[in-house]
Amino acid sequence: MKVVFPITRMRRLRQPNLLPLFQEHALRKEQIIAPIFIDETIDEPKPVSSMPGVYRYTVDGAATYAAELHKKGIRGVLLFGIPYQKSDTADAAFASEGVVQRSISAIRDMVPNIVICTDVCACEYTTHGHCGIVGDRRKRRDVINDPSLDLMEAIAVSHARAGADIVAPSCMLDGVVAHVRLSLDEAGFEDTLIMSYSTKFASALYGPFREAADSGYIFGDRTTYQLNPANGREAFRESVLDAEEGADILMVKPAGMYLDVLTSLTQLGLPLAAYQVSGEYAMIKAAAERGWIKEREVVLESLLCLKRAGADLIITYFANEVAGWLDEK
Ligand code: PBG
Ligand code: ZN
């Protein structure tokens, strides 16, 4: 007997009025976090040349900008500070009157309900631009791990004390999540969350950020603490460790080129954040400015695909624009 199979009509699902019924993932404004750069040395907003549309703000400017974002439905901000004074020991990073600490209060006063996340790292505050204390490691100048942990604890506690909801260690030091967790608890901040930059690659896509945050390094590179982009299993292990150390949220950074890693982390059961970094932003902006791609479509696609791959939270410099676009749809 000859069996004839009917053609499987996948296109039945794609008729215009039926298409939305089968959409598996969607972007939600409430899950988008906007990075904000706050510069203590300026009196008015200063554009970041390699990131058109992104500015460094004053403390007051940051509060106004956060209020604007919140009004548009963006519920979370991630703060980065540029201090007056850099030093080898990054003292300005944990000062109670430091730029991020003052910004937290200013934002909290203006928008009580906004979710304030803070980057916990030293690179904007050190003279050499590395993410911790630099010393001699087997005859090479490098970030030394354990002495830098005290610094991260001090920074995280100072942010929590100023009123941060979520602290986000981005230094890629071993043991930082456990240390920060214990210090927060000891200081009475057991309800402050830790969003660990748990799987952060040594990426060439951070270039524009280093202009934005004035955090470029003057010797070496970050490959002795950030991950090798070639390594998927090691990337997974980094996040497993941070989960064990008590992280509340794990993160993959950069986002778009590391979707396999993001998907692999979904099995850990923790909320996941994906950080669409400065270079990803700059590439889209540059092509769009030339008219080679449609900005809105590419941005929404790039973010939606992060959801499909497993992200809950999305950190993106397009936050403000996306909030507007999602309203129009
Ligand atoms: C600081 C930090 C960096 C980014 C976020 N936190 C830069 C770096 O590690 O060199 C990059 C963000 C971006 O490129 O948008 N450790
Ligand atoms: Zn850093």
The reply to whether 41 falls in a domain is yes
Q: Is 2 in the active site?
A: no
Angle between helices 145-162 and 176-186 (to 10 degrees): 40
The tally of CA atoms less than 13 A away on the side-chain side of residue 70 is 18
Peptide bond into 254 cis (omega under 30): yes
Instruction: Check: CB of residue 140 under 8 Å from CB of residue 167.
Output: no
Atom number in ligand 1 closest to CA 281: 15
Q: 195 and 168 in contact (C-beta within 8 Å)?
A: yes
- The response to whether residue 131 sits with its C-beta less than 6 Å from ligand 1 reads yes
State whether the beta carbon of 280 lies less than 6 angstroms from ligand 1: no
What pLDDT was estimated at residue 2? Answer: 86
Looking at the domain assignment, is residue 7 inside a domain? no
Is residue 2 a part of any domain in this protein? no
Q: What is the pTM for the complete model shown? A: 0.97
Helix (H) or strand (E) holding 324: helix 319-328
Minimal-distance CA residue to ligand 1 atom 11: 206
- Most informative mutation of 121, 203, 209 for ligand 1 (most atoms within 8 A of CB): 209
Query: By residue range, what is the domain housing residue 190?
Result: 28-328
Q: Is 11 among the domain residues? A: no
**Number of domain units in the chain:** 1
Predicted confidence at residue 109, as pLDDT, reads 98
- The answer to whether residue 314 sits within a structural domain is yes
Residue 72 Cα to chain centre, angstroms = 20
Which residue in 29, 46, 86, 200 is the catalytic one? 200
Q: Is 269 left (phi over 0), alpha (psi -120 to 50) or beta?
A: left
The bound ligand whose nearest atom lies closest to the alpha carbon of 130 is 2
Domain membership flag for residue 92: yes
Ligand 1 mean position, distance from CA 274 (Å): 13
Predicted confidence at residue 144, as pLDDT, reads: 96
φ, ψ of residue 306 in degrees (nearest 5): -65, -35
Q: Which atom of ligand 1 is nearest to the CA of 119?
A: 6
CATH number, residue 275: 3.20.20.70
- Provide the residue count of the chain: 329
- Residue pair 301/288 in contact (Cβ under 8 Å)? The answer is no
CA trace torsion 5, 7, 10, 13 (10° rounding): -90
Q: For residue 105, how far is its CA from the centre of ligand 1 (angstroms)?
A: 23
Cβ-contact 180, 167 below 8 angstroms: yes
pLDDT of 170 reads: 98
157 membership: H or E segment, kind and range: helix 145-162
Any atom of ligand 1 within 6 Å of the Cβ of 276:
no
Task: Tell me the C-alpha distance between 93 and 123, whole Å.
Answer: 9
Return the closest-CA partner of residue 250 out of 229, 278, 275.
275
- CA of 132 relative to ligand 2 center, distance in Å: 7
Residue 307 lies in a domain: yes
**Tokens matching residue 119:** 């980057």
Is 294 designated active site? no
Q: Tokens in use for 260?
A: 């396999």
Q: Kindly state the tokens that stand for 309.
A: 């791959």
pLDDT tens over the chain, length 329 residues: 888 889 999 999 999 999 999 999 999 999 999 999 999 999 999 999 999 999 999 999 999 999 999 999 999 999 999 999 999 999 999 999 999 999 999 999 999 999 999 999 999 999 999 999 999 999 999 999 999 999 999 999 999 999 999 999 999 999 999 999 999 999 999 999 999 999 999 999 999 999 999 999 999 999 999 999 999 999 999 999 999 999 999 999 999 999 999 999 999 999 999 999 999 999 999 999 999 999 999 999 999 999 999 999 999 999 999 999 999 86
Does some domain include residue 9?
no
Q: Of the residues 2, 72, 253, 307, which is catalytic?
A: 253
User: Could you tell me if 228 and 234 are in contact, meaning their C-beta atoms sit under 8 angstroms apart?
Assistant: yes
For residue 329, what pLDDT is reported? 66
The residue whose CA is least distant from atom 12 of ligand 1 is 277
Q: Look at residues 41, 220, 43 and name the one whose alpha carbon lies nearest to residue 123.
A: 220
Residue nearest to atom 10 of ligand 1 (CA): 206
Residues 6+ apart with CB under 8 A from 202: 221, 222, 223, 226, 227, 228, 229
